[in-house]
Amino acid sequence: MLTLELLRPDHADALLAFERANRAWFARTIPDRGDAYFAEFPTRHAALLTEQAEGTCRFHVILDPSGSLIGRINLVDITAGSAELGYRVAESAAGRGLAKAAVAEICRLATHTYGLRSLTAATTLDNPASQAVLTHNGFAVVEEFLLDDRPALSYRRSLAALRPTE
């Protein structure tokens, strides 16, 4: 069982350690954050918390049953009932269904807690695991495009099926 927690100031050290430990793993299939991200992490973390307080984004950490940070999952650019989904799971946690479970939970939160009606997401073509996570959770391919010069797919999911009938 995993837990999603809204990003807080006290997550900073664990989140930075997670990003450093998994940097090369992530760079295999998603654009690298670059050295500046790590050098300026405290400022970046504070900026994310400000965006979250303003309601334009919802940033979450993914914790395993022992409370260790094994991933992050975010809803960004929240506007008009929609947001963009982004997530990443530690290499040590990959292949165990945790990303699928985290995406399912964020869809539930997006609907019932944040009142969203749809989500979008994107992944590179060389990331079949992420494609499987999205399709498993009801996302459909919208288009193919270039993401930092890499072929990628854009996805969309309506959250209407998760809303209780009135």
Residue 88 is which amino acid? R
Measured in whole angstroms, how far is the alpha carbon of residue 33 from the centre of its chain?
14
17-45 pLDDT tens trace: 999 999 999 988 877 889 999 999 999 99
pLDDT score at 163 = 64
pLDDT score at 30 = 78
Indicate if the pLDDT at residue 85 is higher than 60. yes
118-143 pLDDT tens trace: 999 999 999 999 999 999 999 999 99
Q: How many domains does the chain have?
A: 1
Strand partners, 58: 75
Query: How far is it, in rounded angstroms, from Cα 99 to Cα 119?
Result: 16
pLDDT score at 156 = 98
Alpha helices in the chain (DSSP H): 12-27, 35-39, 41-54, 98-112, 128-136
Rg (CA), the chain: 15
pLDDT score at 164 = 61
Say which CATH number the domain at 121 has. 3.40.630.30
Query: How far is it, in rounded angstroms, from Cα 73 to Cα 13?
Result: 17
pLDDT-derived band at 166 (thresholds 50, 70, 90) equals very low
Segment 73-92 mean pLDDT: 96
Q: By residue range, what is the domain housing residue 144? A: 3-162
pTM: 0.92
DSSP letter assigned to residue 135: H
